[in-house]
Structure 1
């Protein structure tokens, strides 16, 4: 029993190792791991174990940077006396719950992320404080672009006004993994391809057999342009006619079967067509620039220490 107590104590110390401090406030390894876990789990569905191992540190470093930013913003919100009411927190939780099919599904997601209802409530309160701060200190100070500025941008960025050629596909992905070696995955893909070519419903085959997250949508990836998918996948997708099913397509992580379900030709959009999109785009550029400058100012004023060894 004494060994078990010592083990649990040491394990707790490891999990609660400080990975960073922001003006003396700690960010713990357990918090970082909790935030990173769902993202790493999603990556594990589409990349092989070796690739996942390389990616894990990058994911954790990116999330830690986000957590440092959040800590800076929250500290600033508190300094400025920003408050969030219980009603606002209730509305925030209700909005998040509305994205789930049931209360049970919502509670399961909290559990998956290692969150208690009270911790979730605290997180919502802090996020709302940060949103109010950004609205007050950044967003409210940005000018909306005028129609004249929009027209000038349209004239000076003609290539951007072309809607690129796009294709819409469904796909079935068979992942290569330690439990499904390459040849086993290939044979499985060949069997599924035979069923698809014989006329079985492609979307149902995707729901039943695909290892990709898109299986819930029957393998539908929506419309995408060139450069958005892996080269091997993209080359085949754009070569298919609507309704046509590809042969087996091998990529780094497994095998794909692709069915083309739609195509859009390249076309130029008129100023009136893109006017409001341009307004949103330019405002977003201004917002991002202002936000980044604001964060840099907060970083410059703060004392930030990162324990690189703890992220390993």
Structure 2
């Protein structure tokens, strides 16, 4: 692992850029590559060389460009090359995308959402953080060009539409599933369930290794046709209500399924079928377009002569200022650099500003660590997050698989993860570590929350109090669990409780939902709660009982709880410190055109003029 100092993340790594298979196909395009070349010529004109000033400390354009190139240069270069290939292919085939085409496409998409074109354009620009011109030139043009080039390969058959219609509106089957590791165990548990049919839900809770469904007694959302899992859906649709399936393999596990009910297909009017068919046809066409565009690019790249100059030291010396050539046409390095700033500069500058603030805060607090101590803290933080994310084997953090997951198996990005995520975290930890204190009350509350009994309930969610009150009257008139589940399936507006007949995860103490907790823990088995408000929703509960704690002595888990609570309180202090640092600081960001004087500067100004400044 690379070495990093606490007070300053490394900034001197050389970027290794490779042209891989096509990525970000529809991210960067233009009505012609000449536009990009013109922008490149514009880079020769004078530009602002200081992009930010942080408490008097400057961040230069070159610093931002270097970091953008390190992280995103490969992506930008690939996009520029892809743009050249698309433009050349459009010229070869006589495909022309006009400004009117782009505007018409925007209007059509806005109409599908029921929005005005202006509202839709504003939404896209704000979401992507780009200008209207850039939206049209760099995204929509590419999408239209690809659609025109690949439209012959995106024909949708009537059978495909029919299968999707059946998936959305066809019959469904509600089942419970028991998932175990071996066929022998599956057969034994199935035999037990066959002898006592009512026990299958309890068996799923106790023995199923699928954690998501186990907590709900194995209950799954309704199984649909044409879902992409034919073995699973075929088994589900072969069962009758109450029937158990034989054990069958799913990957390296074995499943026993019990049919709860069969849901008939939805009856649609002829007009609704036509509307749905048109929507589905468009969706499938878009899905096919992605595959067709990828194949088209593979063919383009196979036929093109692409030389990556940036990745070859000898070629860099022979071709100064050139990033790559495509069929003999140069892609200028300066253009890639400036395009990286345009696309990622704001994001990268925000990271540099944050790190500069942390460096200044550490220096002001006198927090200095040598290289070995910093490296140890980095390793400890990575190991801690690995455990938090579940990368553990035999009680030990699995750092390498965790880093592969965080960087999507790209080892070259490990240093960026450390600089952008790990280093800021340990810097904040060092700033606030002495402020964290764990009390006995903290430990007791954590024990009650994590190891104490929980209340098993069913719930029905509503958007208004009147509807909740009306259904509550129906539930209390027939206070059985089965009827409550039927009401949940019919009236609940929340998908999980609706599809699972009111089942929700057991309610625990100190979960951050005091109203729900108080009501749930006040109930006895078989009781129905009053109607309560949870944020913008209304609900009431049916109590099924309480879970039995597996740990009853707090001393058995004290050390674990102590570490956990300390970590949680540490993160709270870190967030307070982060907010305070930003509020106190004077920051001028010339790339975004924003400036803040900083509360510290304001206080100093007021003190210097006797409090006259307001």
Pair in the same fold by TM > 0.5: no
* TM-score (structure 2 length as normaliser): 0.26
So what's the TM-score if we normalise by structure 1?
0.45
The higher radius of gyration belongs to: 2
Structure 1 or 2: more helix by fraction: 1
